[in-house]
Structure 1
Amino acid sequence: MNLKEMLNVADRIVFEKTGQHLDDLQAAVLRGTIQREKYKEIAKDFDCSESRIREIGSELWQILSEELGEDVNKTNFRSAMERLEVSIYSNVAQEESVQINSVNICGEARHPPNIPNSNPPNQETSNPQQTKTLHQDLSEMPEVGDFYSRTPELQTLTTWILQQHCRLITLTGISGIGKTSLAVQLVQQIKDEFEYAVWYTLDEFPTLEKFKSNLIQLFSHSEKQDSSPTNQKPLPLIKYLQNHRCLIVLDDVHHLFCSGEFAGKYKPESQEYRTLFKQIEKLSHQSCCMLIGWEQPREVTQVKSQNTSIRTLQLQGLDIAAGREILRDYGLEESDNSEALIHRYQGNPLWLKSVANLIQDLGGGVTELLPNDTILLPEDLKDVLQQQFDRLSELEKQIISLLAKESQPIDRAKLLENDIIPASDLPNALQSLSRRCLIEQQANFYTISPVLRQYAIARAV
C-alpha cells in the first residue's frame, strides 16, 4: 500500500470501531508515522504539544490492535498494514479481483472483507442521483482573451487536479509567460467539477484574516441557502475544504514575499499564509489550491517527490506555431525572420506582443529593425522587467550583472573570480534566481536570456 491507501484503510477500521472518521490530528499522527517522523516533529508541524500527539497515537494503536488482532504501535504500524494487505489477498484468492481503496487488482472491483466501504476522511458519500449546487466567485478572474495553444500544460494540470487530487499546485514562470491566461483557461474547463470555485488576486495583499473571512462568508452563505438556517458559528477554513470539494486560485502570490531578499521569503505580515498553505498540503481534504506568481513559497519549491500532494509547473515559452499566431495578429506572419524573432524573445507572449507592436508602429519589418540578433526593448517591456528586477536581492543583481557581460554560459568558478560574490552565498543566490526563472542552467554552467541580458546592460548604463 502507498501512504494514501494506508490512511484510507486505517480510517475505515477506526470508523468501524468508533463510528467516527479520522480527525485532522489522528490523520497527521498516522501520516507522520508512515513517513517515519518523530512525535516531536508532528507536534511542531501542527502547533500542539508532544504529549498530546503521544496521547492520540496511543488511542489509535489501541483501536488498531483490537481490530487487527495483534499489537500495533508506532514502530510496526506500516508492517501491520502490509500484513493486513497480504491477509486480504489470501482471503479472496478464489475471487476474480480485490480492491483496496479504489485500487483495482486483476479486474472487477470488490471491497476487502471486514473493512466497511466508508469514504476517505472528511469526504461525503456521492449520490449519482443527487445534483450538488455549484458556488463560484470568479469576479476577480481576468477574461480569457487571446489564448495560444497550451494543450500539454492544460492536460498536466487537469490530471494533477482531477485524477491525482493534488492539494497544492504552484504555477510559476517569468513575467509575461502566460501563467494567468493558462490558469483562466483551466478554471473555465474544470470549475464545474467542484462545489466551490473561487479566484482571488493578491495584488493589494489582503490580510489572511480578510481572505479567510471572504471565503468563509461564501461558504456560510451558500450553506444557509442549501439547507435550513442555523445559528452555528462558521467553521475554520480548513474544515470547509474538508467538507466540500473546492478549487481556490490565488494569483500574484509573489506579493506575499519580501523584495530585496531571496525568492519566497514571507513578509512579516504574511507569515500566517505559510501556516495555511502547510495545512492545505498536510491535512486530509478533498480540495485544491493553486498558487500563481513570479515566486512561490520556499517550502513548495523544495518539493521534488511525485508521491506528495504538491506539484509545481514552471511555464516555458510558446512553440513556433503559437508564436507565429501572435506575430500574425500584428501583420508579421510573412516575415522571413519570424522564427528567429520568436527564439530571440523565447516564445514569451507578452514580450512578443510588445516588440511586434513596436515594429508595427514604426512601419518596418523584422529584418530591418532587428538586424544581426538585435534586441529591442519597448518601454512597456522595460516596465514589466523592472518590476521583477526590483524584487532581487543585491547579491542576485550582482550575479545578473556578471552574467550579462558574458555571451556564453559560465560556471560558478568564473562567477567567483572577481571576489565580488562570497563563495558561501553563491549557491543560495543561484537557487533563488533559478526559482525566479531569471537564469538558465546547463549542467554546471549558467546564463541569462538575450532579452534579460540587454535589459541588465541597459540598467547598468
Structure 2
Amino acid sequence: MGKHLSDVQRLLIQTAWSKPGQRYDEIAQETGYSVTYLKQDAGPKLWRMLSDILGEKVKKSNFRGAMERRASVLPELSSPEATALQKSSLPTPSDPSAALQKDDEGKIVHQSQIDAIHRYQDWGEAPDVSIFYDRSDETAILEHWIVTNHCRLVGLFGMGGIGKTHLSVKLAERFQEQFDYVIWRSLRNAPPLQQILTSQLQFITNSEETDLPATVDEKLSLLIDYLRKHRCLLILDNVETILRGGERTGFYRQGYEEYGNFFKRLGECRHNSCLVLTSREKPKEIALMQGDTLPVRCLTLQGLDASAGGQLLQLKGCYWESGSQCQVLVERYSGNPLALKIVASAIQELFEGSLTEFLKYKTIVLDEIRVVFDQQFNRLPELEKTILYWMAIHQEPVSVEKLHSDICPSVSQATLIETVNSLLQRSLIEKQANQFSLQLVLMEYATNLVKEQPSRLAVELGLEFNEAEVLDSDYSGELDETELDVVAGGGYARPELVIWNRIPNPLELFNSSPHRKDSLSPATSRVSNRHLLNSLLRTGKMPVPQ
C-alpha cells in the first residue's frame, strides 16, 4: 500500500515548485507552522526522501529543476514514497528510458542506483590514494574498531609524512558502504569549528546555511542528533593545526578551544557514527577518553616495512643490487613514506636511481626532509628540545632515570615524566619496555642540530667558526664515565656542549672575527678564546670581554 505525503510535505513541495525563493520564516508566517519545525525537521526529512527517490541531492532551492530532470524515473520506481510523489500532480517527462544505463557487467541499472553510490559522500580536498602502500595490519585493526566495535572516535597519530592522511582516505573508501554518509575535511588552514559544523550539517541535511542554528552549541547538538539517526563517517585531517605550539602538547590555539568540546561530546555521547581524526599531536580530551576497550581508541602509525618501502622506491625509479640495500635504506629513513619519496627523487636525479651509489654517502637528512621535521620541532617548548638533544647524544634507548641523572639543567622527576609523555603524544619518541628512543632519521636530524650549535654560539661570541670539521665528523654516542661525572656535577649547562667538548682541539676551530668591533689581536685571541670557550663549557654563559 502506498505511503501518502503528509500535509506539511505537500505544502513544502507546492511552495518549492511555485515559489522556490520563499524562505521558511515566510512560509511559517503564512501557514502557522513553527519555523523551527519547518527548517530543522519537516524540510530536511522531505528533501532527504526526495534525494533518495530522484537520485541526486535535492533541496528547496533546486527542487523544481531536479523534478524536471529526474521525474522521468518515477514510473520505474516502486517505493511507497515514489508512489506518493507520482500522485502529487507534478509534470512528468515522457521518456523514462533515458534514465537507464548498463553497469560494468552489462546489467541494466537505473540512474538512481548509480547516483546512490556517490550521493552521500563528500570528499572535500581528500588526496588521490589510487597508489597505496601496504597497511594491511593497520587496516585490519581499524576495521575491527570502526566496523565491528562501532567506536565513536578513532585517532590516527604519527610524525609528519608517516601516511596518516592517505590511510584516512583509504579507510573511508574501504568502509563507505557501511555508512550512510562519508564526509572528509582537512583542517590544514585551521578553519573555526563553526565552519566545519556548518559544512557537515549542510551536506547531511540538504539545508542552506541560513536554515541552520546560529550557535556552535546548537549546531553540535543538531549534528549529534543526525549522528544518532544515521551512520556517518566523519574524517578530520591535520588536527595539529588547531593545537598550540611552544608548550606541552594537547592544548588549543586561542579561538579554537571549542574543538575540545566537539571531540569530548562525540567521544562520550551515544550515537551510531564514527569520527576519525589524524594529527601529529594528541588533543588532551582524546588522551583522557581513549582505552583499549573503550569507544575512543588511538593508533600510532609506524613506518613502512622493507617490502612496502621497496614498492615505493621502485615506483620512483630506484633500483638496487641486493635486497639488503633496499632494507638498509628503508630502515635508515624509518620507513617514513614522505622521507622515502624525497630521497628517492634525489637518488633518481643524482645517481640515476642507483641505491648502491647513494648508500656510499652518509647523508640522511636532506633539506626537504629537514623542512618536514623543522615544522614539528619548532613547535616544541625548550625542555622538550633539550630532551631530544640528550636522546640524540645517547644514540640508544634510555630510561627516564637515566635522562634524569644526565640532563642539565636539572629538572624534577615529575616535570621530566610529563615532558617525556608530551613527546610521546607528539609521536616524536618511541617506547620500548621502560626505555625511550628516537627513530633513526629523527636521531640524525637531532644530532645535526646539536652539532650545529657551536657555530651558533660562535656567532654569539663574535667569532668565526670552522663548521665543516664538526658536521663532517661523528662526535655523538653514549656518554663515557668522565662525561657522566661532569654531567652529574652540573658541568654541561647545554647538551650541545657535550658534543663540542669531544671535538679535538676545539679552539682551533675559532678565529677572531674581523667584523667584531672589539676583536682581539692575534697574539691574545687564542688565550681569550680559551677563556670564553671554557666559560661556555662550564656554565653555558658568555663572559663579558674585558
The reply on whether 1:268 has 2:254 as its aligned counterpart is yes
Distance 1:421 1:389 in 2: 22
Q: Which amino acid aligns with 1:247?
A: L
Between 1 and 2, higher relative CO (CA 8 Å, sep ≥ 6) is seen in 1
User: Which residue in the other structure is 1:422 paired with?
Assistant: 411
Aligned CA-pair RMSD: 2.5
Q: Is the 8 A contact 2:263 2:285 kept in 1?
A: no
The reply on whether 1:201 has 2:189 as its aligned counterpart is no
**Among 359, 364, 367, the residue aligned to 1:370:** 359
Distance 1:360 1:132 in 2: 41
Closer/same/farther in 2, CA of residues 242 and 421 from structure 1, 3 Å limit: farther
User: Which residue in the other structure is 2:367 paired with?
Assistant: 379
User: Which residue in the other structure is 2:443 paired with?
Assistant: 453
Q: TM-score when scaled to structure 1? A: 0.66
**Among 141, 148, 151, the residue aligned to 1:156:** 141
Q: Which amino acid aligns with 2:264?
A: K
**Among 173, 177, 183, the residue aligned to 1:192:** 177
Distance 2:337 2:213 in 1: 49
Correspondence 1:100-115 to 2 at 5 A: none
Distance 1:208 1:421 in 2: 40
User: Which residue in the other structure is 2:156 paired with?
Assistant: 171
Secondary structure of the residue aligned to 1:425 is: helix
User: Which residue in the other structure is 1:94 paired with?
Assistant: none
**Among 329, 337, 348, the residue aligned to 2:336:** 348
Secondary structure of the residue aligned to 1:268 is: coil
Q: Which amino acid aligns with 1:399?
A: I
**Among 282, 286, 300, the residue aligned to 1:296:** 282
Q: Which amino acid aligns with 1:277?
A: F
Q: Is the 8 A contact 1:175 1:384 kept in 2?
A: yes
Distance 1:163 1:442 in 2: 30
Distance 2:169 2:344 in 1: 24
User: Which residue in the other structure is 2:380 paired with?
Assistant: 392
Deviation at 1:421, TM superposition (A): 4.1
Q: Is the 8 A contact 1:325 1:333 kept in 2?
A: no
Describe the superposition over 1:349-392 as per-residue Cα deviations: whole angstroms up to 9, x where unpaired: 111111121122111643433348x2422221111111111111
Closer/same/farther in 2, CA of residues 329 and 335 from structure 1, 3 Å limit: farther
Q: Which amino acid aligns with 2:401?
A: A
Correspondence 1:122-141 to 2 at 5 A: 134-141=119-126
Contiguous gaps of at least 5 residues in structure 1: 1-130, 225-229
Secondary structure of the residue aligned to 2:370 is: helix
Secondary structure of the residue aligned to 2:200 is: helix
Deviation at 1:326, TM superposition (A): 1.3
Closer/same/farther in 2, CA of residues 418 and 438 from structure 1, 3 Å limit: closer
Closer/same/farther in 2, CA of residues 284 and 132 from structure 1, 3 Å limit: farther
Deviation at 1:418, TM superposition (A): 4.0
The reply on whether 1:309 has 2:295 as its aligned counterpart is yes
Deviation at 1:314, TM superposition (A): 0.9
Q: Which amino acid aligns with 2:421?
A: Q
Deviation at 1:299, TM superposition (A): 2.6
Distance 1:376 1:267 in 2: 33
Q: Is the 8 A contact 2:133 2:308 kept in 1?
A: yes
User: Which residue in the other structure is 2:227 paired with?
Assistant: 241
Deviation at 1:231, TM superposition (A): 11
Distance 1:265 1:285 in 2: 26
Closer/same/farther in 2, CA of residues 399 and 295 from structure 1, 3 Å limit: same
Distance 1:383 1:440 in 2: 21
Deviation at 1:236, TM superposition (A): 2.1
Q: Is the 8 A contact 1:171 1:315 kept in 2?
A: yes
Q: Is the 8 A contact 1:168 1:281 kept in 2?
A: yes
Please tell me whether Structure 1 or Structure 2 has the larger radius of gyration of its CA atoms: 2
Closer/same/farther in 2, CA of residues 243 and 409 from structure 1, 3 Å limit: same
Distance 2:397 2:276 in 1: 34
User: Which residue in the other structure is 2:423 paired with?
Assistant: 433
Q: Which amino acid aligns with 2:416?
A: L
Distance 2:269 2:394 in 1: 47
Q: Is the 8 A contact 1:205 1:256 kept in 2?
A: yes
Aligned sequence identity (%):
36
User: Which residue in the other structure is 1:89 paired with?
Assistant: none
